[in-house]
Structure 1
């Protein structure tokens, strides 16, 4: 189960808010036991809805021409925080929060750099960025759903 922390980190590297949204849905559905931990807020009633709205907004904002590169310090750092916290949540449920945190961070690095490379290649193949961004969205969402169902 702890390998899921790495996978949710990859999701965070691709779409920053999608990983916390997935964790919130898993916690709210009681598939991820976070009660009594510092991450219990993921299981609160409105957390999945708020995180999902933020993830949807990110997907829309991601295709705007003014959106900065994910490899800049601010966006990269946000992806690390998202991946680390989301991975830690999986780690808490497995009684290995620091391992989950580390795997989430590592996954976020892989997802950030790998996602950027994939999107660049897809954009070149499609001749424009929008289809590449949509493909990346679908891949990230599918991976997030797979993690939630595996929990």
Structure 2
């Protein structure tokens, strides 16, 4: 049962990465530093280090800002899509490492990233269509869902 829960949480952190690529690793780093994700004596222990948390938080904030810019490319172009797959898989692996399920959790994170990328794009374009083409409401909605969801997933790991 634990392995199933770990895979579900890895999938969900992948969905977060699909929405905002840097939110997932920042959330798991915070989760590791706060003790929600047990990375003690595991390959992922460095994720709990304050420098890692600080760097990933800066990258998260930078992504939230650049996402609002009109020239930011679509998340579905290859470099953007690939970044989401990598961060989703990596973030899933960190969650999985707490339970010695790194490889299967990596796969779940990648699958979640695909789902999050496609669903996030659909959500955002749908909200833009309902707002006379304005992308901002969708972007802010997605920011809140990604950041809130990422930290919720990281916290839920502590309950497994």
TM range (shorter): over 0.9
TM-score by length of 1: 0.96
Gaps of 5+ in 2: none
Residue in structure 2 matched with residue 149 of structure 1 by the alignment: 155
TM-score by length of 2: 0.90
Q: How many residues align?
A: 151
Residue in structure 2 matched with residue 116 of structure 1 by the alignment: 121
Partner-residue secondary structure (3-state), 2:43: coil
CA distance in 2, matches of 1:118, 1:36: 40
Matches within 5 A, 1:32-51: 32-51=37-56
Structure 2 residue 152 is the aligned partner of structure 1 residue 136: no
CA distance in 2, matches of 1:53, 1:5: 23
Matches within 5 A, 1:1-151: 1-2=5-6, 3-127=8-132, 128-151=134-157
CA distance in 1, matches of 2:50, 2:68: 30
Q: 1:32-90: CA deviations, max 9, x gaps? A: 12233332221112211221111111011011111111101101000000000000111
Gaps of 5+ in 1: none
**Structure 1 stretches of at least 4 aligned residues deviating more than 6 Å after TM superposition:** none
